[in-house]
Amino acid sequence: MLSPGFGRGNAWVLSSTLERLIPRYDLEGAARGGELVRLEAAVRRSQDELEALKARLVTEVEHAETGVLDAHLAMLEDPVFLANVRGRIQQDGVNAEQAVSDEIDVMAALFTRLQNDYLRERVHDLRDVGQRLVDALVGPGTEESVIDNPPNSVLVAHELLPSQTASIDRTRVVGIVTESGGPSSHAAILARSLGVPFVSGIPGVVQTIPHHASVLVDGDKGEVVVQPSATESRSFNRRKIEYDR
């Protein structure tokens, strides 16, 4: 069980946050110093965004799980990670976006080979921080923003990154459905902290659940019903009433 509870709303389908075209271009010696300046500015901007998100979470949610965001901030200060990214710029002569993406890919490959489930789940955090840095360098991608979803939404995605989950407006999101993510993922931990039902492990949800379709999310059983029948709706409503007591 990722996050318990019952949610009924309309699907808000998010495209993949991980599949985006990273610009790549070679830099001559004189341009590499300027690229390092761009990188440092992106790191500072990313830190400011995370601090603001953390402050909002503390204000809006009692006992908020801010440790997730602290881990992301720590990575942005990690001397080995930053040195490796700088090295790719200085020595390989690639632009900052590509340097960040390449280093995240190397780190993610190492984590996915680990036997420990908890540590393997940290791959999502690596990609989250990498995505934030790339966004700070070139601007956000074209995927639907979690923040822009309408009221009564069930978020549907291949995966939901931890910082996306932390950004959720609880007055507008009634449930989350993803293909990837486990109980120990930081996205699941944050969803439990926010009190949002979360079901994962459903293959092809982005392709099979239509945008704006009516969706029932049963976080207790880990079940999702799309375009429910009258009988399914009545059964769901009874379980929700019992849960809310």
Contacts of 26 (CB under 8 A, 6+ apart): 93, 94
pLDDT tens digits, 131-184: 999 999 987 654 444 567 999 999 999 888 888 888 888 899 999 999 987 777
Residue of 179, 167, 165, 174 lying closest to 215 (CA atoms): 174
Q: pLDDT of 1-48, one tens digit each?
A: 688 999 999 999 987 644 567 889 999 888 999 999 999 999 999 999
How long is the chain?
A: 245
Q: How far is CA 152 from CA 4, 7, 12, 166, 206, in A?
A: 17, 9, 9, 17, 18
Q: What is the pLDDT of residues 66-104, one digit of tens each?
A: 888 999 999 999 999 999 999 999 999 999 999 999 999
Buried b (16+ CB within 10 A) or exposed e, 192-212: bbbebbbbbebeebbeebeee
Q: What gap in Å lies between CA 131 and CA 218, rounded to an integer?
A: 30
Residue 243: count of CB within 10 angstroms of its CB: 14
**Amino acid of residue 3:** S
Q: What is the pTM of this model?
A: 0.79
Model confidence pLDDT, tens digit, residues 215-229: 999 999 999 999 999
At 7 the three-state DSSP class reads: strand
Only one residue has tokens 């080995």, namely 80
Residue written as token pair 């901007």: 45
Confidence of residue 65 (pLDDT cuts 50, 70, 90): confident
- Which domains can be identified in the chain, with CATH numbers? 6-16+143-244 (3.50.30.10), 29-138 (1.10.274.10)
